[in-house]
Amino acid sequence: MTKVASDLLTTEEITAMVGACTRSSDRAIIMMLYEGGFRIGEIGGMKWGDLTFDKWGVIANVNFKTGKPRYVRLIMSREALAKWKNDYPAKPVTNEMPVFITEHQTALTHGSVAMQLKRLAKRAGVQKHITPHIFRHSRITHLIKENVSESVIKLMMWGSLTTNMFQTYAHLTGKDIDNEMLRTYGITETETGEGTSELRIEPRQCPHCKLINGPMAEFCNSCGRSLTELATEAEDDIHDSILKNMASLKRFIAKFEDKVAKGEIVV
């Protein structure tokens, strides 16, 4: 069925759905459906051997619907995939095992994924018609609007430079036309009194150890340092509190060590 721009998910709605997840597997599925533009059949048939973790993220090699292999670079999904792999119920995890399985360790079905996505959308307050494919549709459209090379999008999403499907996904709105024409004349959104553009979902690279973290992370998964202004403020507040109460903290530590030495506290 043909989609219009208003049917597609915004980055805010996708972020809300990720935030509504309570299971690492659900979080990984949503991130991969969106970032990789994977079809549900590709997700269901994917094995751990199809994924290669590296310092930048994950490389996925899939060959499903078109018969043409797709090389998909995943960056934002790395954190969610690594967490799910750690939580994976079958141990040890081998290359031949499916990446995603149900709670009963059976193969995923289109129906089960679709049902879970609808539940998560409801929990996140997203009122649009949700299907597994809408994430692919939204991702391709977002990449087009972000001026990602047409050749890169074609190779990543279809594995071919000659696909005729590209234009099907170019869902531009009147707002997009306005923005482009205003840009042509050197007029910015702020000059017209309009709001800012749509939020982008982006990975967060730690400025301290350079690890690539997921878009929802506030603290680095490697060094624990803050990644956002809010997290930095919280970190600074804790630091200031420690400095202001250093004398009390030292007395507490001395009392604690004394009780440990007397055997009153076992550590």
Distance CA 237, CA 81 (A): 32
Alpha carbon 16 to chain centroid, angstroms? 11
Could you tell me if 46 and 153 lie in one domain?
yes
Strand spans (E) along 24-86: 51-54, 57-62, 70-74
Return the closest-CA partner of residue 214 out of 70, 88, 50, 32.
32
- If asked whether residues 149 and 43 sit together in one domain, one would say yes
Percent of the chain at pLDDT > 70 equals 83
Are 182 and 188 within 8 A, CB to CB?
A: yes
Q: What type of residue sits at position 206?
A: C
Q: What pLDDT is stored for residue 239 in this prediction?
A: 65
* pTM over the 0.85 mark: no
CA angle, corner 53, sides to 117 and 219, nearest 5?
Answer: 70
Total number of domains constituting the chain: 2
Same domain, 245 and 126: no
pLDDT band at 65 (very low <50, low <70, confident <90, very high): low
Dihedral (CA of 184, 189, 190, 193) sign: positive
Asked if residue 69 is part of any domain, the answer here is yes
Q: CB neighbours (10 Å) of residue 233?
A: 11
The string of pLDDT tens digits covering residues 164-177 is 777 777 665 666 66
Domain encompassing residue 248: 229-261
pLDDT digits (tens, 9 = 90+) for 69-121: 888 999 999 999 999 999 999 889 999 999 999 888 888 899 999 999 999 99
In a domain, 177, yes or no: no
Q: What's the rounded Cα separation, in Å, for the pair 11 and 31?
A: 11
Residue 64 in any domain: the answer is yes
